[in-house]
Structure 1
Amino acid sequence: MTNSAKRITAIAIFYVSAIGLRYYITVIKPDFFIHSNLYIHVLLQGIGPLLGGLFVIKFLKRPSGLKLFGIGFSKTLLAVSIPIVLFSLVGILNTGQLYLNAPKYIALIVIYALFEEYGWRNYLQTELSELNKILKYVIITILWFVWHLNFQLTLSNGLFFLMLFAGSFGIGYVADRSKSLIFVALFHAFFNILQSELLQGIELNLKLIIVAISSISAILIMKYDLKDKTAFVPTSNPYYGNDS
């Protein structure tokens, strides 16, 4: 089998697994899904890309492009902590009480996004890396859109498609730059936070401000990491001279 045939076969297996599980969980709705708690209920909706990606990477030996902490543990922890702290502070100011929902719900949203991104960016974007950038992102957007099982011809779905197209470029750029699965999941989570009903009591305008601050902070952390890695690249190894 040629490499192109292997690539197409792997993509087909990944996508059938991803969309098949999505359909089973969200349309057929088995009893264990209906009666699961909030956290399991949310995570199961994104498990298809995770399991599909794991299968083709581990068993078919297809490429993956991201590491869990691609920019290091401490920088990743800092980037994830910023939205948690900001949402917690806003929650306290709104309610006057200790606001514990923010850490729980943001962690849940990020883990859900990580499930998706293990398939979309870690596997599929890497698998399509030889294609023209525009074509690559168009393919990912179409597959990603259909995976959500949104087939109605409505204005909201058209806007959703455009949002996914922008997300394919933006999150794809973060994947290429950071090589970090959690960092990519964080940027995916920023989109989901704005739409999520989990962080009830926090107004949309405050969500927008916090997401903007968190996004800019994460980009600066990512750029600092790249600068840090290129600042001290030696032209030659000082411990090894030329063999004579």
Structure 2
Amino acid sequence: MSMLGRWIEKLLASLPWLLAVTAAGLLVKLAPFLWAYRDLALLLSWQHLRLIGLSMTIAVPLGVLIGGLTYGRALPGALALGSASLLMTIPSIALFGAMIPLLAPLGAGVGTIPAVLALILYSQLPIIRNTRTGLQSVPAPVLRTALALGMSPWQVFWRVRFPLAWPFILSGIRIAMVSAVGIASVAAYIGAGGLGRWIFGGIRRTYPDMVLAGALLISLLAVALDRTLFTLQRFFQRYREQP
């Protein structure tokens, strides 16, 4: 390995510590602001979590269902992944803005409903892709053994293939959820609340502490959710590797 390669490897290895030190420094710097506005910080954090919870409650079953229905089928799979990929190319602020005229006739052009719908759409690609990958990754000898034991194809799917695919599915959910935490900050633009209010408000007022506080809390929220889902993923991975 070249000297540059070793230097990059060391830099990447130390990156989590650098980020942790940076976050700790920001937390110390912003402590007076966060303490002064602690009630608002809790309210905005709750609003942010509610957006994530509502959207993931629908996005996860929907993405897993689409992935399950299209795995092993080339054309439906290509259509599902192509559509989800196309949605990911739309800038978040544009999609949130597009929800306003689309849902305005229903009286839901702004607020929680359009934000949740946009987050559901953005979350589909990693969930669908990883569900398909997980279902296709189950070893053929395992499936043949299950069939030899007298299981029906339906039983093989639910009792063998689907449980063994869970580490991959959880990985997709993890990616979708962490992405949604960041994208949800834009939901404040259409009146859905959340920590994005501090970011937009701080930019509007030229108030750096408010912007940094919103960004820091969003980052901490994303890390907490990521670590929680990573722990679940490792649990299911150990289950998958059991003889």
Q: How does the TM-score come out when normalised to structure 1?
A: 0.38
Q: Name the TM-score, length of structure 2 as normaliser.
A: 0.38
Higher helix content, 1 or 2: 2
Structure of higher CA gyration radius: 2
